Amino acid sequence: MIDSHLHLQDPVLLENIDVILPQIRSAGIAKLVVNGRCPDDWKAVGDLASTNQEVIAFYGLHPWYVNGCRDRWEDLLRGRLKSDVTAGIGEIGLDKWMRNHDMARQRMAFASQLKIAQEFNRPAVIHCLKAWGALKDCLDNSPFTGRFLLHSYSGPADMIEYFVQRGAWFSISGYFFREDKAAKLAVFDSVPEDRILLETDAPDMHPPENLIATPLSRPDTGKPANHPANLSGVYEAYSEWAGISRQETRDRMKRNFASWYSGRDNQEST
């Protein structure tokens, strides 16, 4: 299985990584796309990638961290990409849902990272909440012509065709299989099957209880956290939703991941 988006460097997971990684492997997860959020955690992401063959590093400035980011972060990002030719750019994007958002600064940071993604010919992972019009505007005015993943896509169905033409893949997290998120899951009926990926967004986006294969609690609050091994439940739920076998889901996700991450033709990636 392939987790197309998570944050293994998050302290909730990293502090117990010697226990969590064997559980991930036992669950049958072969690849983990680990997304950085800001320069402060890029080293942890890089260290995970250099010591664990399952981890693919993505480095990015998340919109939640734009306001407090240090100067010359673009140089640091370029340095990371130069030193790791397998790395992508993420998690980047736009967010009007967060409090005190500065959309002008978010758009500048996002545009800069799209430019860098084009410069290095790397795939990107994009976060977007309540800012779909702004995202379209940024893409329309960007030189970026590469492949990108709209992780945990929660946008409107009528924008899917535009995003597909622009180079998008769309990921479903276990969170979308909650009963109260049925409307968000229904949007994926409009997504071509070869443009869908699956993710956990661990330790966030907690799935419904019936999809939790490996429970995990946050040490500071005792509240539930999302374990990466819960990807097995996401694969099961998707198989049922799509009306295909578990093996067909694995094969489909392998093909779709190869076409997004490496740009290989979908038919060649089996």
Tokens 């990636």 locate to 269
Q: pTM score > 0.85 for this model?
A: yes
Six-digit token pair at 235?
């694969």
Q: pLDDT tens-digit profile of 174-198?
A: 999 999 999 999 999 999 999 999 9
Q: pLDDT tens-digit profile of 71-120?
A: 899 999 999 999 999 999 999 999 999 888 899 999 999 999 999 999 99
Query: In whole angstroms, what is the distance from residue 251 CA to residue 84 CA?
Result: 27
Report the relative pairing of strands 31-35 and 124-129 from DSSP bridges: unpaired
Bridge partners, residue 196, by sequence: 170
Q: What are the CB-based long-range contacts (under 8 Å, 24+) for 229-233?
A: 229/20, 229/23, 229/24, 229/26, 229/27, 229/29, 230/174, 230/200, 230/202, 231/1, 231/3, 231/27, 231/29, 231/174, 231/198, 231/199, 231/200, 232/1, 232/27, 232/28, 232/29, 233/174, 233/207
- Asked if 41 contacts 76 with a C-beta cutoff of 8 angstroms, the reply is no
Tell me what pLDDT residue 267 has: 41
Is the preceding omega at residue 203 within 30 degrees of 0, hence cis? Answer: yes
Tokens 């276990």 locate to 174
DSSP string, 132-146: HHHHHHHHHT----S
Which of 201, 187, 229 has the alpha carbon at shortest distance from 19? 229
- Asked if 135 contacts 92 with a C-beta cutoff of 8 angstroms, the reply is no
Which domains are delineated in the chain? 2-268 (3.20.20.140)
Q: pLDDT tens-digit profile of 200-254?
A: 999 999 999 999 999 999 988 999 999 999 999 999 999 999 999 999 999 999 9
- Asked if 156 contacts 187 with a C-beta cutoff of 8 angstroms, the reply is yes
Q: pLDDT tens-digit profile of 41-66?
A: 999 999 999 999 999 999 999 999 99
Under DSSP, is residue 225 helix (H, G, I), strand (E, B) or coil? Answer: coil
Which of 166, 199, 195 has the alpha carbon at shortest distance from 1? 199
Query: In whole angstroms, what is the distance from residue 238 CA to residue 178 CA?
Result: 12
Query: In whole angstroms, what is the distance from residue 152 CA to residue 172 CA?
Result: 5
